[in-house]
Structure 1
């Protein structure tokens, strides 16, 4: 066959006709069609194509046990958020991106424990309940949380100054579906810019910053897990998140409390910051249309 600009696409699509299953065939053919369309639209030079391959190679080479550069690339292109939204459950708490720092297991902790192992500044309490969409409590639900410190760094980014597990905790809700833990208010921070994704943002004239947030993964038997964030309401960049992950329903006021009695109940001193965030898990099978 004479391969040229007008015939190559059909030849490649035909080569996938005997794929192992229909879904594999669908995906491979769709990727091929869109990739060929992109190439015909931008018409890269050989040097530009080599640069593109080198960029993706470097993205892969920057991935290790504590950093996932491909997740970062997916995030800054808005693809992670698009997929999360497409697969969300309409009746439950809105989901958002996993992010590149859920690379280690969160240590199991008791309700009320602190996840701040280095003694930050103003104490903060995060509390709420895990329920189904009708607000029926889900006892024993798991609540996995992780966050950066007050300076905007995760434990895996500062292994010499932060102990492993700082800012992380795996909790189980009580008999009323409630959870609570102590921490510090996280800072806004830039995503890692010392790799190929950082250079991409610089070339595009985009800032790398994320608003302050705490990550959550909540799960209960018979219900769909949700991966989400709580965003600090007064944080910079809440309107221009570098990974497009902010949703209005996830913005929470970390209000200052001077109530000494409430502080004592949570094992902190007043004044402290208090964020309340209820998580609603949709039943299994509940899928976005």
Structure 2
């Protein structure tokens, strides 16, 4: 229904000023042709305006918030970091999850994914020598029935032994390290060498750090590996694997840990296996075998209709 200015004036005339501003904003959006968009913005405005009323937000407090966001845009550039530390990224994943129980759970992408990566074959290393303790991972990419998926493209990326990602180094120069891309064959198998991840500070400078300091909140992410997997006719999977006994599993500043994504690698002390897998030095390494299960649209669990 198209709302005219006369109808808007008549509707808000009976409201007090504090209530009227909310109604005026709703009316200004009421001609939006897409019902879902209109629904989302109506609820967004309701929550924002209720927050202002319930907290008696001052002009100085609101201006400080705007200045913080502007500083964030100028200094950090990764606005998704705010979504992560407020738990919104994880919450969106949780409320939209309709996967079968045997499917691999999604979790956050994080701000340090990039399309610039190394194109590798099974058994290759995503990390150059000296980036950390040796780590070997293998597994399969499967559908929910347990069948291998051929032609799946798997991106893997991680921080090095200093908790730093390649693109964070000043001398990066578009030379990817600790990241790689693999494509599965008919058997759905993948295997790669890497370094064992370590926990690291979520941020050590800038506005995000200042915010976490002001709130006396944890600034650490537990050790993890990132994965992004795509395959024809399947839904994209963005996920992470976390390591058992990490001290930050329960206080992850991004709230992204899931029990189903916690793994327990084995220590391989037979150095002949280390060398056979292509590592340069004869020293122990950690080993992990883990499959990933993708879903098609038709695999999703349909919501139960409301009475």
> Do these two structures clear the TM 0.5 threshold for a shared fold by scoring above it?
yes
The alpha-carbon deviation at position 196 of structure 1 amounts to: 1.7
Q: CA 1:42 to 1:193, structure 2 compared with 1: closer, same or farther past 3 Å?
A: farther
Give the distance between the partners of 2:98 and 2:193, measured in 1 at CA. Answer: 29
Equivalent residue for 1:7, pick from 11, 20, 25: 20
Q: CA 1:56 to 1:215, structure 2 compared with 1: closer, same or farther past 3 Å?
A: same
- Contact kept? 1:151, 1:186, Cα under 8 Å: no
The answer to whether 1:19 aligns with 2:25 is: no
The answer to whether 1:219 aligns with 2:230 is: yes
The alpha-carbon deviation at position 23 of structure 1 amounts to: 2.0
The alpha-carbon deviation at position 110 of structure 1 amounts to: 1.1
The alpha-carbon deviation at position 287 of structure 1 amounts to: 3.6
Give per-residue Cα distances to partners, 1:109-149, cap 9 Å, x unaligned.
11111111242343110111100112111122111111000
Equivalent residue for 2:175, pick from 161, 164, 167: 164
The alpha-carbon deviation at position 238 of structure 1 amounts to: 1.3
Give the distance between the partners of 1:193 and 1:71, measured in 2 at CA. Answer: 16
Give the distance between the partners of 1:103 and 1:235, measured in 2 at CA. Answer: 26
Give the distance between the partners of 1:199 and 1:208, measured in 2 at CA. Answer: 10
The residue aligned with 1:58 is 71
Aligned residues: 285
Which stretch of the first structure deviates more once superposed, 96-105 or 159-168?
Answer: 159-168
TM-score (normalizing by structure 1): 0.92
Show structure 2 runs of 5+ residues with no match: 1-8
The residue aligned with 1:37 is 50
Structure with the higher helix share, 1 or 2: 2
- Contact kept? 1:117, 1:163, Cα under 8 Å: no
- Contact kept? 1:118, 1:166, Cα under 8 Å: no
- Contact kept? 1:186, 1:212, Cα under 8 Å: yes
SS at match of 1:214: strand
The residue aligned with 2:151 is 140
The residue aligned with 2:5 is none
TM-score (normalizing by structure 2): 0.87
- Higher radius of gyration, 1 or 2: 2
The residue aligned with 2:87 is 78
Q: CA 1:125 to 1:106, structure 2 compared with 1: closer, same or farther past 3 Å?
A: same
- C-alpha root-mean-square deviation of aligned residues, in Å? 1.9
- Contact kept? 1:118, 1:162, Cα under 8 Å: no
The alpha-carbon deviation at position 216 of structure 1 amounts to: 0.3
Q: CA 1:120 to 1:52, structure 2 compared with 1: closer, same or farther past 3 Å?
A: closer
The alpha-carbon deviation at position 106 of structure 1 amounts to: 2.2
The answer to whether 1:88 aligns with 2:101 is: no
The residue aligned with 1:276 is 289
The alpha-carbon deviation at position 43 of structure 1 amounts to: 1.0
- Contact kept? 2:76, 2:206, Cα under 8 Å: no
- Contact kept? 1:123, 1:185, Cα under 8 Å: yes
The residue aligned with 2:274 is 263
The residue aligned with 2:4 is none
- Contact kept? 1:223, 1:283, Cα under 8 Å: yes
Q: CA 1:121 to 1:9, structure 2 compared with 1: closer, same or farther past 3 Å?
A: closer
Which runs of structure 2 are paired with 1:143-154 in the superposition (5 Å)? 143-154=154-165
The alpha-carbon deviation at position 30 of structure 1 amounts to: 1.4
SS at match of 2:171: coil
The alpha-carbon deviation at position 21 of structure 1 amounts to: 1.7
> After TM superposition, where is structure 1 displaced by more than 6 Å over at least 4 residues in a row?
none
